[in-house]
Amino acid sequence: SDWQAQSTLNSLERLAKMLGMRKLAVLTLCVTHTAAFSTAPPVHAGRVGALRSARAVKPLAMAGLLPTGFSERVADVLGLSKLSSKAGSGMYPIVGDEAIMKKKAHGTSEMPVQKDLRWNCDYETADRICNFNRHYAEYAGYWETTTFLKEVDREKETTYYDSVTGKPLFIAPRGRSFADFEAESKVHGWPSFRDEEVVWENMRCLTNGESVSVDGTHLGHNLPDRKGNRYCINLVSVAGKPTGA
């Protein structure tokens, strides 16, 4: 309820002032202890590679998924509103309309994901996350259980294609080494891309931070940090093969 949410927020604000906790740590605490207020129903899965509920992923992966208005209040208390505004106030991200994710022939897409996804990504998990999902993610670290790290070219850029349409969505690493890309992705639990690594012709961000393809594929979320926009993306969403391949 609203009063429970406000009470939790007030308590966290007092705790932060008393202990001088780092803002990021407090934000993690906020998300962890307010997950119960999320209106999204839990999804349970009993096998590796299956879709997990939001409570099964790292707390920060739920940023932006709290009830309307509450996450904004958390950001205001912690002084993160200016940071988020700064990260999205330039040319990027390119904001898309909610209509992109309207119901189509197959969930939010016109068709299922490709059958033979790269890096041995699970088909059923990919299809649920890409086409019948707006809030959930592959579990943290899932991408490390695939063959991605064994097969990826560490010396050249890799193009990541939409698992549904085969259109290019990201090209990475750009402006950094693969080691930097890998390290950042491992810290956060999901492949993490920066503005210059996005193929903006085919990708958009909605006003709530959800990252989607222009064709309706759910990709992940934009979770900005002090370096700027950081697109936290499900590997199963970008494991497609190029159209015509």
Q: What is the pLDDT of residues 34-66, one digit of tens each?
A: 443 333 333 333 333 344 433 333 333 333 333
For residue range 152-178, list pLDDT tens digits in order: 999 999 999 999 999 999 999 999 999
Query: Are the beta carbons of 189 and 230 closer than 8 angstroms?
Result: no
Global pTM exceeds 0.75: no
Percentage of the chain beyond pLDDT 90 is 61
Above 50 in pLDDT, residue 226? yes
Quickly state the pLDDT bin for 11 (edges 50, 70, 90): low
Of 18-22, 93-97, 107-111, least confident by mean pLDDT is 18-22
Chain centre to alpha carbon of residue 20: 29
Q: If we measure between CA atoms, which residue out of 154, 126, 140, 132 comes closest to residue 240?
A: 126
